Amino acid sequence: MPSKRSVIDKKNILITGGAGFIGSHLCDALVRDHHVICMDNFSTSTVANIEHLLQNSNFEFINHDITQPFDLASYSELERFKIKFQGIQEIYHLATPISKRHFEDFKIATVLTNSIGTKNVLDVAVANHSKVLYASSSVLYGPRRTDRPHVSETDPCTLDHLTPRGAYDEGKRFSESILETYADVYGLDVKISRIFRVYGPRMKIFDGNLLPDMINNAIDGTDIELTSPEDAKISLAYVSDVVDGLVRHMNTPVDVTVVNLGSDQEHFLSSVASMITKLCDSASRIRFEPSASGWTEAGLPDISKARQVLGWLPLVRLEDGLRQMIDYSRSKRRESGTFSE
């Protein structure tokens, strides 16, 4: 269902979860050429991620919880974007509470965001004849298969929906179902980007995330403790590469729905930790302390569809990406008064 409204000046683009880690980088990429409406309620994100954009005439922030219905045409601050006449051309739906350390505090919000929230976003899309891209997750594929490490878009999504993580994991799968249903019923052009592990600046540095924790330990000179087997591996895609993939996916024809975005190359986790200590010029030791819950190795994305259809592949070298993360972490630690070297 292509937009029936003419673009008066620039595209109007809504980004839900736009103040989050990936969302804020997406705002940066799109605000150069388009009107960007960033919607967030700061439940697990921060205004610091978008503070540099608040004075940009192409950017507007709306503080709203998407589990409540909304009408963008009713916001006076958006009048300069001529929403009533031009509508919204594209919606990037990234909103969902994400906090590893405080996941339990946001379980109900996660369930509601991945059900009612997605429905509310799609209702806006129907009213505006908007294209919609949904930031889904690799968790839908479940643990790595024993027969082959890579997973493609045609592989079944087999996950245990009754685990403590079900609010997020099954929520992502249910949101995909809602999108596909709206596409069938209303003719919406929907895109589903299944995102694998992403890293880069603006990741929360004190939230229990793997790479920020390793960087913090290296900066402090304390042991880097890895709760995994010594031969554990990890794949990592830099945030700017993933944002490039999202934009390319949005611009594909209507018949391109599900695409994997991530790195199909993996590194030993110990090698990543060693690289971090080297870049930090740190004397931190690396220790392995496998946890009782075990280590689940995620599958690797088969990105042949992204290569062929989007012309996309990850370009940023791991060393360069980690260096950017380390610089960001040092800066944020100085701001918070936790810097020590």
**What are the DSSP E strand ranges found in 119-278?**
131-137, 150-151, 190-195, 198-199, 224-226, 233-234, 237-238, 258-261, 267-268
Strand 258-261 versus strand 286-288 pairing type: unpaired
How large a percentage of the chain has pLDDT more than 90? 81
**Nearest-CA neighbor of 37 among 55, 17, 61, 19?**
61
Flag whether pLDDT at 257 surpasses 90: yes
Concerning whether 168 is annotated as a catalytic residue, the answer is: yes
**Mean pLDDT, all residues of the chain:** 93
Q: Which pLDDT score is estimated for 99? A: 83
* Residue 117 · residue 95 · CB < 8 Å: yes
Q: What is the pLDDT, as a whole number, of residue 341?
A: 46
Helix (H) or strand (E) segment spanning residue 286: strand 286-288
User: Are 130 and 88 spatial neighbours (Cβ–Cβ below 8 Å)?
Assistant: yes
Whether 2 shows a pLDDT value over 50: the answer reads no
pLDDT digits (tens, 9 = 90+) for 44-85: 999 999 999 999 999 999 999 999 999 999 999 999 999 999
Tokens describing residue 148: 């082959």
User: pLDDT tens digits for 133-165?
Assistant: 999 999 999 888 888 889 999 988 888 888 888
**Amino acid identity at 161:** H
Domain 12-199+236-261 indexed as CATH 3.40.50.720? yes
Q: Which of 168, 182, 199, 238 is catalytic?
A: 168
pLDDT range class, residue 339, cuts 50, 70, 90? low
Nearest to 94 by CA among 235, 254, 212, 246: 246
Terminal alpha carbon distance of the chain: 56
Residue 25 near residue 202 (C-beta atoms within 8 A): yes
pTM: 0.94
Supply the Cα-derived Rg of the chain in whole angstroms. Answer: 20
* 30-44: average pLDDT: 97
Task: Please name the helix (run of DSSP H) or strand (run of DSSP E) that holds residue 262, with its range, or none.
Answer: none
